[in-house]
Amino acid sequence: MRIYKCAFCGELIPPGYGLMFVKNDGTILRFCSRRCFVSMIKFRRDPRKQTWIRKQQRKLLRQQAQQRRR
């Protein structure tokens, strides 16, 4: 059984939880909660700007962004 990461907040999703979203172009997005799903698909929010995402997740996102810049 594979454990997937949330496409929005980056948290690990335990098996049997969360929801899977398939876009029209076939890409699969997995979300830990409805909140993550709605903020990404419906409101198109930037995960780096959300305050309710855990600090650790935000650190990871920042590191990724810095690596991309380099």
Note the residues at the interface with Zn ion (CB under 5 A). Answer: 6, 8-9, 32, 36
Residue whose CB is less far from Zn ion, 6 or 61: 6
Supply the minimum distance, in Å, between the C-beta of residue 9 and Zn ion.
Answer: 3
Instruction: Please state, in angstroms and rounded to a whole number, the distance separating the CA atoms of residues 3 and 45.
Output: 24
Closest approach of Zn ion to the CB of residue 70, in Å: 27
Give dist(CA 13, CA 6) in Å, integer.
6
Q: Of 22 and 70, which CB lies nearer to Zn ion in the complex structure?
A: 22
Nearest of 2, 22, 23, 27 to residue 13 by alpha carbon: 2
**Shortest Cβ distance from residue 21 to Zn ion (Å)?**
12
- Strands 28-31 and 19-22 come out as antiparallel
